[in-house]
A and B are shown apart, each in its own frame.
Chain A
Amino acid sequence: KAGVTQTPRYLIKTRGQQVTLSCSPISGHRSVSWYQQTPGQGLQFLFEYFSETQRNKGNFPGRFSGRQFSNSRSEMNVSTLELGDSALYLCASSLEPANTEAFFGQGTRLTVV
Chain B
Amino acid sequence: GENVEQHPSTLSVQEGDSAVIKCTYSDSASNYFPWYKQELGKRPQLIIDIRSNVGEKKDQRIAVTLNKTAKHFSLHITETQPEDSAVYFCAARRGGGADGLTFGKGTHLIIQP
- Chain A interface (Cβ < 8 Å from any Cβ of B): 4, 33, 35, 42-48, 55-56, 58-59, 90, 92, 96-99, 101-107
Chain B positions within 8 Å of A46 at CB level: 100
Task: Check if B103 sits within 8 Å of A103, measured CB to CB.
Answer: no
Q: Is the interface of A mostly helix, strand, loop or mixed?
A: strand
CA distance A35 to B36 in the complex (A): 14
Chain B positions within 8 Å of A55 at CB level: 97
Contacts A42-B105, A45-B102 hold; do A102 and B97 have CB atoms under 8 A apart?
Answer: no
Task: Check if A58 sits within 8 Å of B100, measured CB to CB.
Answer: yes
Task: Check if A99 sits within 8 Å of B99, measured CB to CB.
Answer: no
Chain A positions within 8 Å of B42 at CB level: 106
CA distance A105 to B46 in the complex (A): 12
CA distance A106 to B104 in the complex (A): 20
Within 8 A of A (CB), among B82-103: 89, 91, 93, 95-103
Instruction: For B46, give the chain A residue with the smallest CB separation.
Output: A101
Task: Check if B45 sits within 8 Å of A99, measured CB to CB.
Answer: no
CA distance A4 to B31 in the complex (A): 25
